[in-house]
Amino acid sequence: MRADGRKELIALDDGYREATESWADLLRDCKRRGMRAPVLAIGDGALGFWGALREVFPETKEQRCWFHKIANVLAALPKSAHPARRRRSQRSGTPRTNATR
């Protein structure tokens, strides 16, 4: 995301989504084309992405995507508990940013 809030596509490539090397190739290409280390990367739990990010841009802070985090919690609960869990998540509002590293 740009400083003005606009999103911009920076790369698109074929690769295995969980493979660290696929992600590293994509990130190295971005870096070679002049992309500086992002301040913050937000993503799901795909381990390949995080490993590649640490390799190519070790200074970038990491944050787990809130949407995916809630989806994972719901997946672990019985379907009958989903409506109540969703209501609790909505009442809690937008979570505070909690970047790691």
Evaluate if pTM is beyond 0.75: no
Q: Which helix (H) or strand (E) holds 62?
A: strand 61-64
Q: What is the pLDDT of residue 45?
A: 76
The residues, any chain, with a CB within 8 Å of residue 23's CB and separated by 6 or more, are 15, 48, 49, 51, 52, 53
pLDDT per position as a tens digit, 53-87 = 999 999 999 998 877 778 778 888 888 887 887 77
**Does position 32 have pLDDT exceeding 80, yes or no?**
yes
Specify the DSSP class assigned to residue 79: G
